[in-house]
Structure 1
Amino acid sequence: MLKVKAGQLDQLGLLFERHNRPLYGFFYRLTADSAISEDLVQNVFVRIMKYSHTYKGDGKFTTWMYHMARNLFADHYKKQKKMGYKEDPEVTDKYFRDEFNAEEKRIKEEQLDMLQLAMNRLSAEKREVLVLSKYQGMKYQDIAEVLDITESAVKVRIFRALKDLKVQYEKLEVVNSQGT
């Protein structure tokens, strides 16, 4: 990133190669929409190029990048709300995409889909902290920097989010078991 800041914009491609997939995962877990997630990833790298002069290099690049991604997502979310879109708690049904899947694979996918549904039922704040910690693998200290809160506040938020996630997942399991 320091090379990009110094004007070597060809190095931005290397950063994109290294970080676009984790960023896509971050956005997809927040939006459950692949097209929006791809657009947001592109916009993060546009912002990285535009605001490269603000990168100091004293902390982790990923922390700076996720802070930017988080702000971009907040802007996107506000814009969607103004346009009248509401958050959709349901994810597209993907259970039987491949006819030849084994029963175990189908059950695992169903559980993952239920987990995503449960994640979508959480508040944006709780979903975000879980995505950063569990899916993106960020350390509590790094999450604290991204969210501009203390590390202990991160621990509390993650604990509460996991507790709520468990409740939502169990509710979905009850509904799912009644439907079969």
Structure 2
Amino acid sequence: MKHGIHFIEEYPRYGQLLEKLYRKRELDDWYKEVCKKELLLPEELFCLNEVEKINVSSRYWPSIDVSMHVTSKIGEGNFLFNQIIQLRISKIIPVYDVNFCYKIKHQVIAGTLDMWGPPQTAALMDLDNCISEIMVLNGFLGLSELYDLHDTVYEWSDLQEIDKVNRRLTLEDAVFVDILELCN
């Protein structure tokens, strides 16, 4: 992760877009149109070994959510180990975020144990590298790899026409969430 370098400083054209969108509020109509459009995933994602199912949640929203289910592992004593890769891809600017989930089911555990974290298995490490290569080749930048998603884009005092959500507008909210509430 790049410490001390903010995303909008390193990518001034995206900073200008976010300024027009959030501070100046000049792009409300553009924002609504972009959020309505379907974002197609790169075809290469559907050809990854070990991925048995991909679910895409695309709606009237500034981003899409993609769940990639990795082939389950079954062990002794009814032990079941599932791995899921969660991608969020912005429709506003060409960026994505990736997270990894591990689900463990065993007869001694009531329910399912869900854990989130970095890729911890060889399969997820390989898939993480493949996804990164595919996304970069298709013009996307991985945010969670390079930038702090909780980095401040704007303080709320700079954004007069937007309801305060947290303490500040973060990079994560600016590119993945409908903070403008125009997708209703």
Q: Output the TM-score relative to the length of structure 1.
A: 0.30
More helix by share: 1
